[in-house]
């Protein structure tokens, strides 16, 4: 009996038709689809997924900024700590996307489902452990970051809710990574739109006590975030177990398979190290900025939220490249994998060049949308236009790094991050801000310099092609 083929998107038609088909979520074979088309079909839902994530980040910052400098500072500092959790979750997600994409490219959906089940086990275990440790020791961690006692007292509960409730972060990241690796990017998009849409509505209700909701101040932002993400996870689990998609997790897939767990862990460990190196560098920058006062920290926190608004959609295209790399390597088509990366790089560079120009020219009007005093706004505007200068190079570096990860070669980006951020960015930020006397501006200048170094090195190594031989 012949196998029923899944519906495919039409091969002719305008860009608009391709976008519409991308949002419908047809099951396609991305190892044979025309590459320009394949990139767009995968990238559209991934970009929209990241757009909602960035809208959430900006909306959250907007509401919290009404609560004053202390609230802005504690959110910024806690977010810098959350980046450590994000690093671990994204590191495991890198392994998830690479392994699932490779199995789908090899036409082994059952093995992809088995890998997904083991990835969930790893994620739940790690998130519980990190939540207990970081949530329990939140005030001590804040004190280690040179946070003043008034801010610690005001922000401990917020930090504990965010750090202790991190399981929702882990599961959203991991399950979405599984869907992306399988080519079911629309499910990942709908998850974040649902989760973050709920949070955008609930956050101000809990912060200000609108209607029947209690007035919780800055803690309300954390409560809204965890409720929204929790509902998103339930939506993901429904689709992951419904039997309607390429990856279908069943109870048998959740029985520990230590051989497979070890294989996933080997790819995930260097992925985690890669992200930890990158994100702890941001913690280092916040620590240096803390020595210049709350205004510098608050201004930088606002600028980071605005920058994420631009960079997160770029991750959508980069993630599309990663999926295409993994699936096509699985199908034995390495040259097609490389071609997909350069197509995604071209699109990303054009987009970020335009956004970077806007940030350089209109930095002050943009950050002025956030209610804050003049000193905070000045720091935010300066950080925004300085970081915006490096946007074209960020686009290249982010896409190429994602391609390494999609191939399962997490070691190369790890060493690149170590050299660029720990060996260059943090020492340079300290030198420029302290001995050279540039203050917070020196910290801001170190960021585009470090990313430029990383981009140049990434492209050189990518062209050598060692990643094509990686096995996962």
pLDDT at 115 over 90: yes
Mean pLDDT taken over the chain: 88
Lowest mean pLDDT segment, chosen from 7-21, 62-76, 420-434: 7-21
N- to C-terminal Cα distance for the chain? 33
pLDDT at 147 over 90: no
Bigger pLDDT: 303 or 151?
A: 303
List of residues 6+ apart from 96 with CB closer than 8 A: 115, 116, 119, 174, 177, 178, 181, 264
Binned at pLDDT 50, 70 and 90, residue 471 comes out as confident
List of residues 6+ apart from 461 with CB closer than 8 A: 412, 416
Would you list the DSSP string of 236-264?
HHHHHHSS-SS----GGGGS--HHHHHHH
Q: What is the pLDDT of residues 193-217, one digit of tens each?
A: 999 899 989 999 999 999 899 999 8
pLDDT at 80 over 80: no
Q: What is the pLDDT of residues 325-350, one digit of tens each?
A: 999 999 999 999 999 999 999 999 99
Question: How far apart, in whole angstroms, are the C-alpha atoms of residue 55 and residue 199?
Answer: 11
Question: What is the residue extent of each domain of the chain?
Answer: 42-469
How confident is the model at residue 13, as a pLDDT?
52
Lowest mean pLDDT segment, chosen from 137-146, 172-181, 246-255, 446-455: 137-146
Binned at pLDDT 50, 70 and 90, residue 430 comes out as very high
**CB 231 within 8 Å of CB 195:** yes
Q: What is the pLDDT of residues 21-30, one digit of tens each?
A: 888 877 889 9
- Pick the closest to residue 184 from 238, 240, 268 (CA basis): 240
Phi, psi for 211 (deg, rounded to 5):
55, -135
The burial of 316, by beta-carbon neighbours within 10 Å (0-12 exposed, 13-18 middle, 19 or more buried), is given as buried
DSSP category for residue 370: S
Mean pLDDT of the 95-101 span: 95
How confident is the model at residue 146, as a pLDDT?
61
For residue 154, the Cα-to-chain-centroid distance in whole angstroms is 28
Q: What is the pLDDT of residues 252-270, one digit of tens each?
A: 999 999 999 998 888 889 9
Lowest mean pLDDT segment, chosen from 128-132, 312-316, 332-336: 312-316
Question: How far apart, in whole angstroms, are the C-alpha atoms of residue 72 and residue 63?
Answer: 10
Full-model pTM: 0.84
Phi, psi for 430 (deg, rounded to 5):
-70, -45
Mean pLDDT of the 167-173 span: 92
pLDDT at 102 over 70: yes
Lowest mean pLDDT segment, chosen from 27-31, 178-182, 187-191, 379-383: 27-31
Instruction: Give the SS3 label for residue 87.
Output: helix
Lowest mean pLDDT segment, chosen from 10-14, 40-44, 134-138: 10-14
């Amino acid at each position: 009996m012949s196998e029923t083929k899944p519906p495919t998107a039409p091969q002719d038609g305008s860009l608009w038709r391709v976008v519409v088909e991308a949002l419908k979520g047809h099951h396609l074979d991305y190892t044979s689809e025309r590459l320009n088309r394949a990139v767009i079909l995968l990238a559209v839902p991934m970009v929209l997924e990241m757009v909602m994530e960035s809208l959430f980040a900006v909306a959250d910052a907007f509401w919290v900024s009404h609560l004053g400098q202390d609230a802005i500072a504690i959110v910024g500092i806690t977010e810098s700590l959350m980046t450590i959790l994000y690093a671990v979750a994204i590191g495991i997600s890198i392994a998830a996307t690479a392994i699932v994409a490779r199995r789908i490219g090899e036409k082994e959906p059952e093995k992809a489902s088995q890998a997904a089940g083991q990835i969930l086990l790893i994620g739940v275990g790690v998130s519980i452990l990190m939540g207990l440790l970081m949530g329990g020791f939140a005030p001590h961690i804040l004190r280690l970051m040179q946070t003043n006692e008034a801010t610690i007292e005001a922000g401990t509960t917020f930090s504990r809710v965010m750090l202790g409730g991190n399981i929702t972060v882990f599961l959203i990241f991991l399950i979405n990574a599984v869907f992306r690796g399988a080519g079911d990017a629309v499910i990942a998009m709908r998850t974040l739109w649902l989760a973050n849409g709920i949070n955008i509505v609930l956050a101000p209700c809990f912060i200000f006590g609108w209607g029947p909701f209690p007035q919780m101040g800055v803690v309300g932002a954390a409560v809204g975030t965890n409720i929204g993400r929790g509902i998103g996870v339930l939506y993901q689990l429904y689709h992951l177990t419904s039997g309607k998609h390429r990856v279908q997790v069943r109870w048998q897939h959740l029985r520990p398979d230590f051989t497979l767990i070890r294989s996933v862990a080997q790819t995930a460990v260097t992925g985690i190290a890669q992200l930890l190196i990158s994100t702890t560098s941001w913690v280092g920058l916040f620590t240096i900025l803390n020595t210049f006062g709350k205004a510098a920290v608050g201004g930088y926190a606002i600028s980071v939220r605005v920058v994420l608004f631009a960079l997160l959609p770029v991750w959508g295209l980069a993630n599309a490249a990663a999926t295409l790399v993994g699936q096509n390597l699985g199908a034995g088509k390495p040259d097609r994998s490389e071609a997909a990366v350069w197509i995604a790089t071209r699109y990303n560079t054009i987009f970020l060049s335009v956004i970077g120009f806007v940030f350089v020219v209109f930095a002050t009007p943009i950050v002025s949308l956030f209610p804050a005093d003049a000193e905070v706004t000045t720091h935010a505007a300066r950080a925004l236009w300085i970081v915006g200068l490096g946007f074209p190079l960020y686009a290249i570096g982010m896409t190429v790094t994602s391609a390494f990860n999609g191939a399962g070669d997490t070691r190369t980006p790890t060493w690149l991050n170590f050299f660029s951020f720990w060996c260059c960015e943090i020492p340079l930020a300290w030198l420029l801000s302290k001995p050279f006397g540039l203050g917070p501006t020196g910290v801001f200048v170190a960021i585009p310099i470090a990313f430029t170094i990383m981009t140049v090195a990434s492209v050189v190594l990518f062209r050598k092609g060692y990643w094509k031989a990686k096995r996962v």
